[in-house]
Structure 1
């Protein structure tokens, strides 16, 4: 897990508070998720807008703009379901900064999922995060990029728990991450079965399957 915060360009500052209720109105937000908004979220701020008009990088249909949302928490954490509800309501890629109050200091972490825009609902990968950092920690300049899609990929890359391969698009990385998670679940299940299987011939089959899955996992990483 990386320790990283970005210094967002001053020209991109937006600073508009968004009522939580706005996200209830969009789509099918369940009662359980609404309750998480109420119990976990203190304030949502649309903090920065990275666009051609603000940072002079050209967008595309896949990444027309990049938004930065700051979420002040009540409990110190925000469920992925809350982030997903916000992501689904906003038709742009979003980088989240989550803040919490601890004894003696405020802390912050960056969270994001790879978001693929299309004609229907956006396709959202799993969420990945930096570690918690002091709110006044030094921030790094944004990665150098020639377009908003390239900037989006460069911002997400340090959060991604697999190595991004040369020439690989972030959508391909997201698909590979989904495969990694699936293989990790299968390996855990096989290991559990192996511990409790009494028959030797079945144990041999399980070990063979486990070795195959482990090799597949290494290839994906």
Structure 2
């Protein structure tokens, strides 16, 4: 995980406020998620539109555009179900900037999942995030790219735990992210069981399983922290 914020191109600025009700007034969002929208979300802004018409990079059917959404929070955090509800409602890949606080105490973190477009609902990987950073942190220029798909992959690179491989297709990256997410959850479950297991023989078997999962995970990842159902900053 790399803590950074991007300097989004002025030509791509959109700056349109989106009523949060638009995301939960249809039947696909369950009531508990609607309640989280009400309690967690202060404001949603469609901040930037990265597209051929704005930054002169050609898109593809999988990445026709990349949208940047800024979400101001009420209580200083945002849960994954809310992010996913917004993400699934947007027919393009999305990069989120989550903000909390005001003035000198305003902080931002960048959050995204790898999003695959296709027939039916888009497929999302786990969500990954930078750490909280002061809102006045110096922003970095966008990665160099000659197409929108290449730019999208490069934007996600500092966030996700997988190391990009030369010539790797978007579908391959998505598959590795899905495998990493699955293995991370298995590792977490095994670690929890190991802490509470009283029987020695069972502990030995759990340690063996844990080593196997870690061995599978190691070639796929760099160090990064995935968001879970309860984001890591909820107790900050």
Fold equivalence (TM over 0.5): yes
Answer yes or no: is 1:115 the counterpart of 2:102.
Answer: no
Distance in 2 between residues matched to 1:94 and 1:26, nearest whole Å: 20
Q: Which residue of 1 aligns with 2:15?
A: 15
Distance in 1 between residues matched to 2:20 and 2:193, nearest whole Å: 44
Look up the SS of the partner of 1:127 in the other structure: strand
1:218 Cα shift?
1.7
Higher RCO by CA contacts (8 Å cutoff, separation 6 or greater): 2
1:197 Cα shift?
5.4
Answer yes or no: is the 8 Å Cα contact 1:62–1:118 preserved in 2: yes
Distance in 1 between residues matched to 2:36 and 2:127, nearest whole Å: 17
Distance in 2 between residues matched to 1:147 and 1:218, nearest whole Å: 30
Q: How many residues get paired?
A: 220
Q: How does 1:29-40 map to 2 (within 5 A)?
A: 29-40=29-40
Distance in 1 between residues matched to 2:194 and 2:109, nearest whole Å: 38
- Taking only aligned residues, the RMSD between alpha carbons, in angstroms, comes to 2.0
TM-score (norm 2): 0.85
Q: Deviations over 1:52-79 (max 9, x none)?
A: 1111111110000111111111111111
Distance in 2 between residues matched to 1:156 and 1:42, nearest whole Å: 25
Q: Which structure shows the higher strand fraction? A: 1
- If you compute each CA radius of gyration, which structure gives the higher value, 1 or 2? 1
Q: Structure 1's 194 and 19: CA in aligned 2 closer, same or farther, altered over 3 A?
A: closer
Look up the SS of the partner of 1:215 in the other structure: helix
Q: Which residue of 1 aligns with 2:75?
A: 75
Judge which range, 94-103 or 7-16, deviates more.
94-103
List alignment gaps of at least 5 residues for structure 1: none
Answer yes or no: is the 8 Å Cα contact 2:7–2:141 preserved in 1: yes
Answer yes or no: is the 8 Å Cα contact 2:163–2:220 preserved in 1: no
Distance in 2 between residues matched to 1:107 and 1:199, nearest whole Å: 46
Q: Which residue of 1 aligns with 2:65?
A: 65
Answer yes or no: is 1:147 the counterpart of 2:147.
Answer: yes
Answer yes or no: is the 8 Å Cα contact 1:71–1:96 preserved in 2: yes
1:119 Cα shift?
1.4
Look up the SS of the partner of 1:6 in the other structure: coil
Q: Structure 1's 190 and 128: CA in aligned 2 closer, same or farther, altered over 3 A?
A: closer
Distance in 2 between residues matched to 1:50 and 1:124, nearest whole Å: 20
Q: Which residue of 2 aligns with 1:126?
A: 126
Answer yes or no: is the 8 Å Cα contact 1:26–1:89 preserved in 2: no
Q: Structure 1's 150 and 27: CA in aligned 2 closer, same or farther, altered over 3 A?
A: farther
